[in-house]
Structure 1
Amino acid sequence: MSDSNSSDFTNPSTFILLGIPGLEAAHVWISIPFCTMYAIALLGNFTILFIVKTEPSLHGPMYYFLCMLAITDLVRSTSIVPKMLSIFWFNSREINFSACLTQLYFILSFSTMQSGILVAMAFDRYVAICDPLRHSTILTNPMVAKIGLAVVLRGIMLILPHPFLARRWPYCRTNIIPHTYCEHIAVVKLACTDISVSSYYSLSVALFVTAPDVFFIAVSYTQILRAIFRLPTKDARLKTFGTCGSHLCVILASYIPALFSFLTHRFGHNVPLHFHILMANMYLLVPPMLNPIIYGARNQQIRDRMLQPFTHKWT
């Protein structure tokens, strides 16, 4: 392994992840809520996938998109939690250089995919509420497959330059990353060269991918809310709004922590490092945990299917 304090290595074989600097004594205690969130995310998202697969009545566009969301949540959380827990529990801080770049790529690409899936889900709700008679003809299974493929390809292709750029930089200062995982900026900041290409490309992806996604979601839900308020009865308005409530909760749970982490990283220079790292972990752990809970609690069909074994037991 390269010496961490060496000043003459250019391509380290490993990086050293410090975990949460300043809170090393509390690593074991911090691991408890993180491990709990990960366990809930695994159980909840696999439950969603199983229910949709085994229940023919749920074989529709909204639930297909929900399954895509569950898969992205599983991949994102699994990309960071096992290594993070090994740091907290076993002080296993080394990560191979290629493995670090792979982790970086999976986090960014599947986060981009998740954003695209949320746009697709908003579009599905828009068509279902604002043009219900054409919903089955617009969002056919082939169309859903094409949307899913476009979302995946966008995430793969747009993020692909990040690890390639990171690999070509010389790392001659240190191989110590003050983080729990290989966050993109935390890695490239270690390079002893001008990293403006990586920085500008990262900012461009954030502005020209996430910003349009948020805009399209906002437009979709503005139109949905207008359609809801035009419904003739209060019961109809409440019922229709209830079907969209879970989607709105998922969108807020996904974008608010991500936005907070992004703004803290870019502009919060006075924010303590340990607080920034905690928020960066929350942004990847909270949505995967909350999404299945939100859908399980607010979606009648999924809730009924989840409770079916228990209702059969007591009848």
Structure 2
Amino acid sequence: MHRIRRALPYVAALSIGLATAVVAGAQPASAVQTMITPATWAYTEAQQPRTAFVNPAGDLPIGTTTDAGGVTHTRRSYFTYDLTRFKGNSLSNADLSALITPDAACTTSVQLELWRTGKLNQTPTWRNAPTELELVRQWPRGCDGWFVDTSLTDVVTAARARGDRTLTFELRVAQADEAVAGSGFLITKPETLVTHNAIPVVRNPGLERDGRCGTLERPRPANRGAQVGVTVTDADPRPPWSSRSPGGRSPRRTSDTRRERAVRRAMRGPTSCSVTSPRAPWSPGPRGPTTAPTPRPGRRPAIW
């Protein structure tokens, strides 16, 4: 009995070491890319300071234009993304893209700006617009159209760290150029391509040796034949390499290691033992009850 008590710390160290090694050695699931569009969009106009233009059809206007009747319009546009869909995911990249077209009467080069703002309310107006919080990007542009492609990774990551459920941006012409006639642009509703990965949930770590279980009080010997198993749940879609080929054989995953394959074999077994399992000590194996082996005199106690 004295030898068994001395050996127990080795069991705890071995169990923890095996579980840690499997988790650290596992390869992450393939990342998923999702194109998100604004949940809400709007624009405001200086000449109609109390009017809200929410979710209008067509492209979003910014800058100053003059219509056929000679009336001047100065506008700013806003759009909001919903971040709740990425709850429980790690995010590695977010790229915004949009097509910007200058007004037909464009006559000058201007500075365009992308701002992070406060929340977009239900009736945003020129007088009641979201507060500008952070200048994200600036682009000096002339009278030519172009495709915007810019990273929002840092901004989106910071918003998730703050616990923000939504993220709102403003597109506008810089204040120094905003009132200049012919500085107007039309912008397609910006889309953002997000690269993310659902964080796998690892549960039920356990040791298995010959299908027989022990407890911390009456453990089974752990040697090279012992295997560790865990239950892993991943919300990401199944990657292409996991489906069977037309010939009926599953493609081999190139990132597999011997340890990963051993873990999967252990997980398929119906008798994996939880490290903290309350099962009865020295449960009978396929050949009947098993008794604890007695260490030989003069040798180091077995690891239990």
Higher relative contact order (CA 8 A, sep 6+): 1
TM-score (normalizing by structure 1): 0.18
Larger Rg: 2
Higher strand share: 2
TM-score (normalizing by structure 2): 0.19
